[in-house]
Structure 1
Amino acid sequence: MSRPPVDLVPADGPAEELTHNPYNTVTGGIWRTRRHGRPAVLKLITPPGREGPAHWAGSADPGHWNYWRREVEAYRSGLAARAYADAGLAAPETLAVDERPDGGVALWLADVAGRTGTAGTVADLGDVAARLGAGQAAWLGRAPDYDWLARDWLRDYTLTRPVVEPVPWDHPVAVAAWPAPLRAALRRLWEHRHALLAAADGLPRTLCHHDCWPMNLVFGDAGPVLLDWSFVGPGPVGEDAANLLLDTFLDGLVDVALLDEVAATVVDRYADGLRGALDRAEVARAVRLTGAAKYFWLAPLMLGRAGGGTAQSYDLRGEAEMFAGRRPLLELLARWADEQLR
């Protein structure tokens, strides 16, 4: 456990470190603490150059998928607060944005009281999807005029995942957990990744959060609150709904037995939220296509790391359990990809 700098929180003050992705070099730490006697969350944003994995390196390029100041600008400009506000999907209140002498930024946000996203019900996730659809309907075909928005987040993020070829499709861990037809379908998904991204390029564009999942949601008394605006930018319609659906189960934080029910609910309620801006069949296609395009790298990356004992940010399962636990999710991805590639 680490503590925030003592000039921000007194040495004897409360500072609870919160779970986050430690590999993303933009994030220097996140703590639940207090500011002027008020419950607050402190997030340290660090400039490029901090040591860490190359595929999680921050960038000084404002359009880069991991531009280091994007979340700072999203809160300071008010975009995070107003992006989906009319649909009842809020962002935390910004308490302060402090530029630090070391070049970093201390981002102070109100601590949101409520149930964590992983405690959400199927109905809760459907409600978020509906609000997301309504919020994104208002952004169809347009985007805010900020140069720090992610240029092409889906393509740039996915193509930088550290997959090493040749992919060991018949690794013993995979053979034990995934039947041969599934491995063959996942191989097709990987080999047709560029075609999937190209197809996603043809979808209507909207303003995407790009990281909508339970760890970035709080179900408060006044409605759901969406955290972490580090990746906001234009993207294909359906992408955030697909991410919400898939990431709910990816790390074993929610029972995968709910996958089919959540999938049906999220797609249906997202279409409800779009209120006819797109045909319901086109909405379903968009979610499936962007979901396949978002995670074409997942199985190859897992196989490349098999046997290495690589630590995960959120998934605390052992390797064999993780491979088995992700099978229903990968089967869904494979079906979606095959539908798009026919």
Structure 2
Amino acid sequence: MPADTPAESLTHNTLNGVTGGIWRTCREGRPAVLKLLAPPGRPGPTHWAGSTDPGHWNYWRREVEAYRSGLAATAYPGLAAPAPLAIDDRPDGTVALWLTDVPGRPGTTCSAADLGEVAGRLGAGHARWLADPGRTGTNRTPGWLARDWLRDYTLSRPVPEPVPWEHPVAVAAWPASLRAGLRRLWQRRHAVLAATDRLPRTLCHHDVWPMNLVFADTGPVLLDWSGVGPGPIGEDAANLVLDTFLDGLVDVALLDEVAAIVLDGYRAGLGRAVDPATVTRAVRLTGAAKYVWLAPLMLTRLGGPTGQTYDRRDEAEMMAGRRPVLELLVRWAATGLD
């Protein structure tokens, strides 16, 4: 990018060692987004380090391959991806990924109906992959797809023991029943993950949430294909519900409405590919598995930095704001494991 080209830095996870920066700019006179991908070795937290292992959950070149191969554009026909303008391998080892700047409403302005539409299109896309199991089987799967994203990501979160479940801040913010449920969930984390292993598998995006959505005139557009790979059904839909509210970007008063409409939309999108009871259980189990570590990690960080990139609330606001989401997580875990 020429030094005199105007650029606006875009919000992204600055902890992730793979992402060297994201800017809204222009390329050859047209609006563009530049995403700089960096090989492993950048300073940062170990649990956000990139990897050179193509199957690792945070393989640093996966998004490049998703665009270069055309998978991002064709994975889910009802959910577009930005068109790649250029992929430049730079002399310093980084890769400049140039994408079209998609005009439309940011995902954080979403309504419940918007998210229901996304869920329906996700379900239809997942059903397409379920109908052709060989597409995600070992014979035809590109080696750069995430090998076991949900398990690898979940177990990489740095939760030190013992977890201070009776910390005064936690006692003040979360009732005893919620703390007990979260504690049980943490103790059963391996059982929860094992239960997700028995679900039907499809091709998952692994990071569907409002920050990765643009609502264009032609339909929703899905950004950030850095985690794409095989995974259990329900995972993307569950993440769409939970991640919409965890960082305080959307009013948590919409949680119950969004949870219901996303589940309904996802089931409808899957159609007859999976029976509705299994879909419901899958959403609950995968949601519990994805965030089994969240409450324990929050408690171990009380009184210190939150480690958050997107959430700008102070500690007390975050504890209170996440309570309804964590209560939903506990309910999902209890019913999903029955």
User: What is the alpha-carbon distance in structure 2 between the residues aligned to residue 233 and residue 150 of structure 1?
Assistant: 5
User: What is the alpha-carbon distance in structure 2 between the residues aligned to residue 311 and residue 327 of structure 1?
Assistant: 18
User: What is the alpha-carbon distance in structure 2 between the residues aligned to residue 13 and residue 154 of structure 1?
Assistant: 39
- For residue 105 of structure 2, the aligned residue among 115, 118, 141 is 115
What one-letter code is carried by the residue in structure 2 that aligns with 1:321? E
User: What is the alpha-carbon distance in structure 2 between the residues aligned to residue 309 and residue 211 of structure 1?
Assistant: 24
Query: Are positions 1:47 and 2:39 aligned together?
Result: yes
Aligned to 1:3: none
User: What is the alpha-carbon distance in structure 2 between the residues aligned to residue 80 and residue 309 of structure 1?
Assistant: 35
Q: Mind listing any 5+ residue stretches in structure 2 that lack a counterpart? A: none
Q: What is the DSSP-based 3-state SS (H/G/I as helix, E as strand, rest coil) of the residue aligned with 1:326?
A: helix
Aligned to 1:315: 311
Query: Are positions 1:96 and 2:86 aligned together?
Result: yes
Aligned to 1:135: 125
TM-score by length of 2: 0.97
TM-aligned CA deviation for residue 14 of structure 1: 1.1
Tell me the alpha carbon deviations over residues 130-154 of structure 1, each in whole angstroms, 9 at most, x when there is no partner.
0000011011134252000000000
User: What is the alpha-carbon distance in structure 2 between the residues aligned to residue 152 and residue 201 of structure 1?
Assistant: 10
Aligned to 1:5: none
User: What is the alpha-carbon distance in structure 2 between the residues aligned to residue 60 and residue 287 of structure 1?
Assistant: 31
Aligned residues: percent identity?
76
Query: Are positions 1:256 and 2:252 aligned together?
Result: yes
The 8 Å contact of residues 285 and 333 in structure 2, kept in 1 or not, is answered as yes
**Number of residue equivalences:** 332
For residues 331-342 of structure 1, the aligned pairs below 5 Å read 331-342=327-338
TM-aligned CA deviation for residue 327 of structure 1: 0.3
What one-letter code is carried by the residue in structure 2 that aligns with 1:223? G
Query: Are positions 1:70 and 2:62 aligned together?
Result: yes
Aligned to 1:81: 73
User: What is the alpha-carbon distance in structure 2 between the residues aligned to residue 60 and residue 192 of structure 1?
Assistant: 31
TM-aligned CA deviation for residue 337 of structure 1: 1.0
User: What is the alpha-carbon distance in structure 1 between the residues aligned to residue 250 and residue 258 of structure 2?
Assistant: 11
What one-letter code is carried by the residue in structure 1 that aligns with 2:107? G
- For residue 21 of structure 1, the aligned residue among 13, 25, 37 is 13
For residues 162-177 of structure 1, the aligned pairs below 5 Å read 162-177=158-173
What one-letter code is carried by the residue in structure 2 that aligns with 1:192? R
Aligned to 2:217: 221
User: What is the alpha-carbon distance in structure 1 between the residues aligned to residue 216 and residue 18 of structure 2?
Assistant: 27
What one-letter code is carried by the residue in structure 2 that aligns with 1:260? D
What one-letter code is carried by the residue in structure 1 that aligns with 2:110? G
Tell me the alpha carbon deviations over residues 40-97 of structure 1, each in whole angstroms, 9 at most, x when there is no partner.
0000000011111000000000000000000000000000000002xx2000000000
User: What is the alpha-carbon distance in structure 2 between the residues aligned to residue 320 and residue 302 of structure 1?
Assistant: 11
TM-aligned CA deviation for residue 267 of structure 1: 0.3
User: What is the alpha-carbon distance in structure 2 between the residues aligned to residue 25 and residue 311 of structure 1?
Assistant: 14
TM-aligned CA deviation for residue 13 of structure 1: 2.0
User: What is the alpha-carbon distance in structure 2 between the residues aligned to residue 206 and residue 337 of structure 1?
Assistant: 21
TM-aligned CA deviation for residue 171 of structure 1: 1.0
Q: What is the DSSP-based 3-state SS (H/G/I as helix, E as strand, rest coil) of the residue aligned with 2:103?
A: coil
Q: What is the DSSP-based 3-state SS (H/G/I as helix, E as strand, rest coil) of the residue aligned with 2:85?
A: strand
TM-score by length of 1: 0.96
User: What is the alpha-carbon distance in structure 2 between the residues aligned to residue 126 and residue 171 of structure 1?
Assistant: 38
What one-letter code is carried by the residue in structure 2 that aligns with 1:96? A
What one-letter code is carried by the residue in structure 2 that aligns with 1:163? V
What one-letter code is carried by the residue in structure 2 that aligns with 1:150? A
What one-letter code is carried by the residue in structure 2 that aligns with 1:31? W
Please identify runs of 4+ aligned residues in structure 1 that moved more than 6 A: none
What one-letter code is carried by the residue in structure 2 that aligns with 1:56? W
Aligned to 1:124: 114
- For residue 233 of structure 2, the aligned residue among 237, 258, 264 is 237
Aligned to 2:297: 301
Aligned to 1:285: 281
TM-aligned CA deviation for residue 311 of structure 1: 4.1
Deviates more, 1:308-317 or 1:100-109: 308-317
Q: Mind listing any 5+ residue stretches in structure 1 that lack a counterpart? A: 1-7
TM-aligned CA deviation for residue 221 of structure 1: 0.5
User: What is the alpha-carbon distance in structure 2 between the residues aligned to residue 341 and residue 128 of structure 1?
Assistant: 27
Cα distance 1:202–1:311, how it changes in 2: closer, same or farther (>3 A)? closer
TM-aligned CA deviation for residue 172 of structure 1: 1.4
**C-alpha RMSD over aligned residues:** 0.8
Tell me the alpha carbon deviations over residues 234-279 of structure 1, each in whole angstroms, 9 at most, x when there is no partner.
0000000000010000000000000000000000000000011111
What one-letter code is carried by the residue in structure 2 that aligns with 1:102? D
Aligned to 1:212: 208
Tell me the alpha carbon deviations over residues 138-189 of structure 1, each in whole angstroms, 9 at most, x when there is no partner.
1113425200000000000000001000000011111111001100000000
The 8 Å contact of residues 56 and 146 in structure 2, kept in 1 or not, is answered as yes
Aligned to 2:148: 152
